[in-house]
Chains A and B, each alone.
Chain A
Amino acid sequence: MALNLRQKQTECIIRMLNLNQTVINPVGGGVGTANEEVYKILIYDRFCQDILSPLIHVKDLRKHGVTLYFLVDKDRKPVHDVPAVYFVQPTQLNIQRIVSDTSRALYDSFHLNFSSSIPRPLLEDLASGAVNSDSIQRISKVHDQYLEFVTLEDNLFSLANKNCYVQLNDPSSGDKEIEEIIEKIVSGLFCVLATLAVVPIIRCPRGGPSEMVASLLDQRLRDHLLAKNNLFTEGGNFTSSFQRPILCIFDRNFELSVAIQHEFRYKPLVHDVLGMRLNRLNVKGEKGGMKSYELDHSDPFWMANGSLEFPEVAVEIEMQLNKYKKDVEEVNRRTGGNAGPEFNGSDLIGNTKFLMSAVNSLPELTERKQVIDKHTNIATALLGEIKERSLDSYAKMESEMMIRGGIDKNELLSMLRGKGDKMDKLRFAIMYLISTESLSPSEVEMVEVALRESEVDTSAFQYVKKIKSLNIALASANSANRSNIVDWAEKLYGQSISAVTAGVKNLLSSAHQVALTRTVDALMEGKPNPEIDSYLVFDPRAPKSTSGSNSSHLKGPFKEAIIFMIGGGNYVEHGSLQDLAHSQQPVKHVIYGTTEILTGGEFVEQLAVLGKKMGLGSSDIAPAIK
């Protein structure tokens, strides 16, 4: 059972658009019997707009009978004879708007769908508002959709929780705020699991937000499974014999380097440099106008070549272009150029056949040309940026640093004084901090001076320096018991930073692999491994009393995994997890999710905010502009 999150979410949304009646697919389209409620109006809020936009296009909406679509905030006029489908988050503001809409009788009937479970008090508010305005008869149905997450690809999702890392690592955050954030993350994860309709086995490292999220999620699932008509009753008997997937929850502090590093593969480059958002991209076209492109599963070139390094991508585009030119020439030759001296009757009929087949193949050819044009434009834009900021040398140097565990002083300084904008230099400096095993204070001084020369705001740099120094101080002070370090760090900052040591340890290995991938591999294998033995296990289906001894199946090799990163993730981790999944025999399936998809620059900005909150960093330099 391959977990395809995007497909499942799309199905749920289509069902919602059909007013939550089971969609029977009659032969030849959905027009079998004229359903009373064929035409409808869709109303959503901004968060749900982000959910809908990667999944459905406007013309698909029309296929399901949606004639108009509005934001709930917009001023709308009454339209008679139509049911309205609302898809909003359950917040106070949205409820007020709905109540005002019903009292104004904007539409004939209201089908309310909330992206996650609407809490009791808000439901009562809605009820009392509707009764007050005497408009109960217009509200037909109220549903909880459990769709509060954004799916970008078949196996990539995000909860769109902004600034999660800052809030979790902020030393001034109180317990209440942290609990709120954990609550939001857990409800988002719950929605994902409800859409997939699986109850996984949860594993997480000890301590920190990941443990909090895992235990709360376990609790939530247990409570829910006790209910009679829960969302997870497996449909047929076939599904119950399949193995359950594993859900691994990690915190961003587990491996900071991946979020900051400069990468040179196509997908991460497009995301980092050109600012792709919700699979949409704005690029300067050939003739100077801004063009908007969509990069998702319907683009075969993107799907096939997203994980290649940039030079290889350029080669691929060349190849596709040549193939296309050859095909077009062939079509032209066969249909057009035969009006020569050999023109006779028999040629003509052959001509018509070729003409017919050529015309049939024209749409396909045009589509291919469009895809090639699109990627040529994107690659050209990328090339311009790369040359200007010499991103290739940054990427190379950073990966060398990570492998070697250090860098020559002169190389370091020459990079910092060379090309690249402020954010690039800051990221490079932070990578230097993370990758070097033993930092000499003089070198760090020089780096800071170089950064200040380039007018870079060093708060993020200071923050990472402080964290690292703290960790090393802890390590040297009490190196015997690792868990004690963790407890002490927790007490001090409210969360675990022991992972920085883990990160440093990882760098000593010769082949630099993303640490997350290695850990996930070990977890999925299920064999005893010193790295992961300390990880906690939660099984929501098992009764609380049983201990972990007879849970042999919990640790066996897993075929499917859901990996969740708290605090921010990116396409690099996603790509490396997919490589892992495809390189196994038999092929495994891995879904990667995170609270927020961040580019390197955005993550470093969050680090800078943290640095400023801790009072580090010089305040007389203008903040780093990307």
Chain B
Amino acid sequence: MAKVRDRTEDFKDSVRRAALNLGYDESKTATIMASFILHKTRERSPFTKASMKTLESIGALEKFLMKHKKDYLDLRRTTEQERDSIEHEVTVFINSCREQIDVLKNSINHEQSSSKGWLGIRSDNLNADTIAHKHGVVLILSEKLHSVTSQFDQLRAIRFQDAINRVTPRRKLKSGIKNVTESSNSNNFQSRGNSEVREDNEVQAEPIRVQQQVLDDETRALQVELASMLDAVQETESKMVEMSALNHLMSTHVLQQAQQIEFLYEQAVEATKNVQLGNKELSQAIQRNSSSRTFLLLFLFKYKNCRRFGNGSIDIGTALTSPYLCLIH
């Protein structure tokens, strides 16, 4: 990368020369030069201190996430429970960071509103630029938190994807087994039918075989029942996974729209309010118009009468009033 030229040394020389030109004595010059080296430790406002702390905690959160990312994603290194616990910890952390940011935001608003109470005289600390700066700080913090949480959401999405992928082949396999069992069941029924026909011919000869048959049938029935129960359980499991995935989808992507939808809603509400106000104003104007009309008529009649009894120039008076009367009608 290209180097940059540090001119601070040149600046210091110029400062020294300027001090000498102004006639500063040695001690004063020395203090000025010393200020370059010793930086006065500045008193930091509580707002700044709090924002620094929040920044640190977001940084710690990010480091934590990075550390456990590999463990979280790799299927073999962690169990489901460990993954759940990681998720839980991260969520708690995120909530605490968000609370800190909210506290900062509220402190700005609080300061703003409390200062207004003093007859609108604001102290030096609360000018528009400082408030804008504080809002900027809060915005930066929330953007950082947002980026960390979106990283976390991505990890969760990968986890859900894996889960669904794992469940799907099992379903396929299971449905394959189901077909096989179904076909074997039909075979059994068929063979049972056959054996029944055969049995009718040899009914007395083998009561033991019949008993065996019955036992076999029972076993098969149990098998079928177990298989179907397994089916049902697995279906429920997959449905749960789907639901959590859909839930995750909703919470991340659709809620992103939530702000915009809220904004639109508020705008619509405002628009209706404005239209109502407009209607009110219009009706008032119409009223005023009609009342002013009668007022004007009365006034002009009076004027006409006065004019009649004033100078002899009746014509001007009538000339003035008649066009007005025409206009009003």
Mark A residues whose CB is within 8 Å of B: 8, 11-12, 15-16, 20, 27-29, 31-34, 38-39, 41, 59, 62-63, 65, 67-68, 76-82, 108, 117-118, 120, 123-124, 126-128, 130-132, 136-137, 139-146, 194-197, 231, 233, 345-346, 348-350, 352-353, 355-356, 359-360, 362
In the complex, besides A39-B140, A197-B2, A233-B3, 9 extra interface pairs with C-beta distance below 8 angstroms are A67-B136, A67-B139, A126-B14, A128-B18, A131-B19, A131-B24, A144-B7, A231-B2, A356-B160
Given contacts A79-B133, A349-B242, A353-B164, contact A131 B22 (CB under 8 A): yes
Given contacts A12-B1, A27-B66, contact A62 B8 (CB under 8 A): no
Mark B residues whose CB is within 8 Å of A: 1-8, 10-11, 14-15, 17-19, 21-22, 24, 32, 35-36, 39-40, 42, 44-45, 47-48, 51-52, 55-56, 58-59, 62-63, 65-66, 124-125, 127-130, 132-133, 136-137, 139-140, 143-144, 147, 157, 160-161, 164-165, 167-168, 171, 175, 235, 238-239, 242, 245-246, 249, 253
* Cβ-closest chain B residue relative to A191: B2
Given contacts A124-B14, A141-B8, contact A62 B143 (CB under 8 A): yes
Is B235 a contact of A127 with CB atoms below 8 Å?
A: no
CA distance in complex: A118, B8 (Å): 12
Q: Which residues of B contact A67 (CB under 8 A)?
A: 132-133, 136-137, 139-140
- A selection of 25 A-B contacts at a CB cut-off of 8 Å is A8-B2, A20-B6, A28-B65, A31-B59, A38-B55, A39-B48, A63-B143, A67-B140, A68-B136, A80-B45, A80-B125, A108-B42, A118-B7, A123-B10, A126-B11, A131-B19, A131-B22, A136-B35, A137-B39, A141-B6, A145-B4, A146-B4, A197-B1, A349-B242, A350-B168
Is B66 a contact of A39 with CB atoms below 8 Å?
A: no
B59 partner, pick from A34, A136, A144, A353, beta carbons under 8 A: A34
CA distance in complex: A146, B137 (Å): 30
A77 partner, pick from B39, B128, B144, beta carbons under 8 A: B128
CA distance in complex: A131, B59 (Å): 40
Q: Which of A12, A80, A346, A350 has the largest number of chain B CB atoms within 10 A?
A: A80
Q: Which of B5, B137, B144 has the largest number of chain A CB atoms within 10 A?
A: B5
Q: Which residues of A contact B144 (CB under 8 A)?
A: 29, 31
Q: Which residues of B contact A118 (CB under 8 A)?
A: 7
Q: Which residues of A contact B147 (CB under 8 A)?
A: 29
Given contacts A62-B139, A137-B40, contact A352 B11 (CB under 8 A): no
CB of B316 to closest CB in A, whole Å: 51
Is B1 a contact of A8 with CB atoms below 8 Å?
A: yes
Q: Which of B2, B17, B246 has the largest number of chain A CB atoms within 10 A?
A: B2
Is B58 a contact of A31 with CB atoms below 8 Å?
A: yes
Is B35 a contact of A137 with CB atoms below 8 Å?
A: yes
Given contacts A34-B52, A131-B15, A136-B15, contact A82 B133 (CB under 8 A): yes
CB of A83 to closest CB in B, whole Å: 10
* Cβ-closest chain A residue relative to B165: A353
Is A356 a contact of B139 with CB atoms below 8 Å?
A: no
CA distance in complex: A141, B11 (Å): 9
Q: Which residues of B contact A139 (CB under 8 A)?
A: 11
Q: Which of A127, A132, A197 has the largest number of chain B CB atoms within 10 A?
A: A127
Is B42 a contact of A346 with CB atoms below 8 Å?
A: no
Given contacts A39-B140, A82-B133, A231-B5, contact A356 B157 (CB under 8 A): yes
CA distance in complex: A368, B188 (Å): 59
Is B235 a contact of A345 with CB atoms below 8 Å?
A: yes
* Cβ-closest chain A residue relative to B55: A34
Q: Which residues of B contact A196 (CB under 8 A)?
A: 2
* Cβ-closest chain A residue relative to B6: A143
CA distance in complex: A137, B15 (Å): 11
Is A123 a contact of B249 with CB atoms below 8 Å?
A: no
Is A132 a contact of B11 with CB atoms below 8 Å?
A: no
